[in-house]
Structures are given as C-alpha cells and as structure tokens.
Chains A and B, each alone.
Chain A
Amino acid sequence: MTELRKDFSEAMQAVNGVVLGKKKQVRLAFAALLAGGHLLIEDLPGVGKTVLVQALAKVCGLTFQRLQFTSDLLPADIIGAVVYERQKELFTFRPGPLFAQLVLADEVNRATPRTQSALLEALEEHRVTVDGQTYDLPEPFFVIATQNPAHQIGTYPLPESQLDRFLMRLELGYPDPKAERDLLAGGDRRLLLKDLLPRLNSTSLSQCRQQAARLHVAGPLLDYLQELLKSSRECGTFQRGLSPRAGLALLAAARAWAWLDGVDFVRPEDLQAVFSAVAAHRLETADGSASAPLLKQLLASVPLP
C-alpha cells in the first residue's frame, strides 16, 4: 500500500513541477482520478488547463486523446463511426478519439448540445453504442473537460443536469506572482511535458482506486455529511439542495483525498477539503451568483460535533 502511495505522490509532484502554484487543484484532480470520477475545469484560456491534463496523462501512463470541441463537431466525430472497407467488403467500426484512457474534451461548451449529450452519456455509461452495437470504453476511463466561462460568445453552457456527471469542477485561476515568475523564467511547458516519465500505469492506478474506495467511513462522519446535505437543502441560498448522488460523490472524493494523505479512515477535514469542488457546480444560487463563496459560508455554519 505504501509503495503505491509513494508512486502516486511522486506522480503528483511531477505534475506540480510542470503546473506551478496549483497544488490544491492538482491534488483535487488526482483525487477525482482516484475516485473514478470525471473532471470539469472551468477557466479562461491560457491558464494551463491543457498542460495540467497532459501532465496528468503522462505521469499516470495512460493513453491520451485530445478532443477539440467546436460548434460543427458531430457525435460520430468523437465516438467513432461504422465505415465500409472496400478491400474486406464489410462494415467495420472505426473508434473515435473517445477510445482512450484519458480524454481531454477541450472547450466542451463550444459544441452543440447534441454532441455534448453524446459525450456525457459515454461518461456515465463507460461505453458507446453505434448501430445497435455496444463498444466498451477502455479502463480506466477518465475524462477531463475544460470549459470557458459561459459569457464568451458562441458557447452552449452545459445544462445543470449534465453538470453533475462530473465529479468535480475546478477553477485554476491566475497563478500567484511567484509562480508566474517561475513560469516566465522557466522553459516552455510543452517541452517539460516531453521529459515527464510515467510513474503509474493502468493496473497500479486501479489498485489505488480499489484501496481508496475501501477506506473506512465512521458513523459520525456520515452524520456530518448528512448535516451538510441537509443544510444545503434548507439554508435557502440555493435553488435546489444537493442530491443523494452529490452525497455519494462527496464521499468518494473525500475517500480519495484521505487516501492521498495516507490515513486509513476518512476525517472531517477530507470532506471539507473536497466539498467546494464537488458541490459547487451542482448548486445553482437563487440569484444566479457564484456558489463557491456561499458554500464556504455553509461549511462554516454547519457545526462539526
């Protein structure tokens, strides 16, 4: 167990070497990977979303595909299509770019809702169906979608119901001055990526996932989680409270977070650490403002016994 965790933290460190000053976000991304959930990164272009994802793919030793979403992208373009092979005289399925262990769906809100739906269904089911034939997606299957803030022109924001297919939503934000200085002084990030070595592979990753999923959760922690859920439903700041699925997501993320810390049970701080990232995109504030600061208030208002 310790061996695995060592590999894992080395992988995390390697990513931090490339993506500077984003320790918390990197760790959350790894937690999402561990918890078997998908990740949505929402921020302005050029803050390092793509670099983060590429670094992640590299150190984890996963097959990587990048999907640039545009408004004219069709579902078949990502899933793949059945084509006629003239030599063999039969129709064969040619898998699309989705058939990879780590998929970067870049600027997912630029695509039409139709294409978005095709992607999100694949996220949920871990398989795709084309012409009545079902094809399993590879394992592990981890999608990181990036999204530009909705107010940019020519975007189709993801609907609420589909947002909660993502385990977490991260915002990278601008780097702090020191990190930015290092970034500017350092070499090209893309070159650094090339030098990254894989620290993990799909088998070790799935072992880590299993360990994290088995982490002990005590009754008092569940009490606390339920209090949080209840409070989100009753406090009145949000249009709708957190769903039971959100509760499960919180638990899975907290387990992964705790596993990263090397403890064998989930502590309240694990839950608090992942709370905002897991819950923010599932909640719509009553007045349409950003939910993250409100979530901080909520977290502070629920007493931890």
Chain B
Amino acid sequence: MATRPTDISLSPARAVPTSRWFVLQYKMAPYLFVSPFLILFAIFGAYPIVKSLILAFYVTNGPKSAVFVGLQNFIFLLSDDDFHKAVWNTAVFAFWSVFLQLPLSLGLALLLNSRWVRGRELLRLAFFSPNLLGQVFVGVLFSVLFIPQYGLVNRFLHFIAGVPLDTKWLANPNLVMPALVLTSLWMYVGFNMIYFLAALQAVDKDLYEAATVDGANAWHQFWAVTLPGIKPVAVFVLVMSTIGSFQLFELPWIMLNNSAGPDQAGLTIVMYLYQTGFVTGDLGYASTVGWTLALGVLIISLFQMRVTGAWKGGD
C-alpha cells in the first residue's frame, strides 16, 4: 500500500512520520482525549437538561404517566401561591445574605490584610474554617444552637438583652428567615473573605504610594485605589453569592427538620422543586419550576453584571 508524504513534523531533530495510521491518530487524538468528558456530559448533563425541558410541558403522575399540557404548567406557576412564597423567601434570603455578607467579608479581608493585626494567618483560618464543614453539618449544629429554653443563642440573648428563653427561632414564621441568614453568614463570610484577601493582595502597591504622595488619606485610597482594584473580584463574589442564595436547599431543609418550616417560612425555590418532584411526584411541574429558576438566576446575574459594568453587552 502506498504512503503519502505529509508535512507533519514533531521536531527538527526527528524523522517525519508519514504513515496513514499516524496521520489518522494524530488528527483523532484530541477528540479521543476529550471524549470521556463529552460522553459523560452528554449522559449526565445534556440529556437531563433536554429531558427536563420536555418534561416542563407535561403533567406527570407518578413514574409512568405523563400528559402533554403545553404551557399549562407555566400558567399555573403564575398563580401558584406556594411558588410565589418560595420566590419571595428565596429573594429575601438572597438580599440579606448578599448585602450583609459582602460588606462583612470585605471588612474582614481589610482587617486581616492589615499589617497591624497579630495572628492574621490563624484568624484567616478561623474565619474560613466554617466553610470546611458541609451545609448539612452546619444545619444540624445551628438547629441545636437555636433550640428554645436550653439553646445557646437564647441563653446568650436572654443574658444580654432579656430575650425570652422560649423564643422559637425555627418554629416562629417571623424568626425563621433571620435564623437562616445568620447561619449562612457564619458559614460564608469567611469563604468570601478569602476572595477579597486575594484581590487586595493583588492591588498594585505603587498606586498606594502614588496616592500617598498626592496627599490622599486612607478613606480616599480605599475609594480611589482599593475598590477599583478589587472590582472584578467583588462582581464575581456578588454574582456567585446571588446564584448560591437562589440555590438554597440543604440548610433550611436540615434546620427545619426536613420541611419548609412553620407557615412555609423556610420554603425556597429549590425546596419547592424537590417537594413537587420527589414528594408529590409531579416531575413535569418540578421541571417547570427548575427552568423558571434557571431563567430567573440568569436574568438577575446579567442585570448585576450590567449594573456593575462587568458586562457591557458584547463589548
């Protein structure tokens, strides 16, 4: 069999391989290497995504029965009080988590980036360490801390402010959300602090020297040098925290004893999706909820990026 010369050369010092087999495998090798990912993604990523999109137009009743209902699931969603409650709860959680978390994380990062603080490494580890635990563990821990009559939180608040010992953080609809936000702050402030610390350490020190020479005080330096310097990271943290907040599930599920809590005060969108799909058994409507959540998060993230100037619509 004749062979065709090629212009492939691996290195000047080596002979040019010319066999057809070599040319074929040289061309196919990249595809071969990426194929494990592509195959797994197709099975466990792409197929479920497409399948859930199709299911969103069906009412399913148990494992084997599905009836095409067109846009009825989406129309029902618009008037579904439980979904509205889940959206409201999730939005409130996201708002308070993000707007308390980010300033606290940045404040801690500034503090622990300062030369004047002793034991910074230890403190960084201490503040980051809650994130080493899973949400389930933290949920169990805080559900014990928040128990009425004997819980540490109530004991402390009773001692300093006379709050009644039998205050029911996780059984009072008005206190469930504050309890969830406090827990998430404990867990994630230290985590986001690490991003801000890394960003602060990457800001060019020459800029601070130049600002000092120009007579800028610490406050001016923060506004004119530090904030612009860490802006990309701040936007990243903002977007990721928002997305994370909208995916909230394990923390309230564990803290509220596998339920949405009193008066559904801890019902989140993902929890509603889970309940609809795996408790009530309507995977079609659960898919509708899932796709609505995905679209909502996409819109909010794009809005955040547009407002913060991180995304300029294709520029």
**Do chains A and B stick together as partners?**
no
